[in-house]
Amino acid sequence: MVTNDYAHLRRNALAGQVLTELPPFLAADSIRAGHLVPLLVGHPMPEQHINLLYSSHRYLSAIVRAYLDFCEAQAVHIMEACQP
Domain ranges of the chain: 6-81
- CB count within 10 Å of CB 28 equals 19
Rounded Cα gap, residues 54 and 82, in angstroms: 28
Cα separations (Å) of 17 from 5, 8, 11, 33?
15, 11, 9, 18
Check: pTM over 0.75? Answer yes or no: no
Q: Are 9 and 3 in contact (CB under 8 A)?
A: yes
Go through the chain and tell me how many residues it has: 84
Task: Tell me what pLDDT residue 31 has.
Answer: 92
Task: Tell me what pLDDT residue 10 has.
Answer: 95
Q: Which helix (H) or strand (E) holds 84?
A: none
Per-residue pLDDT tens over the stretch 8-67? 999 999 999 999 988 888 888 899 999 999 998 888 778 778 888 877 777 888 888 898
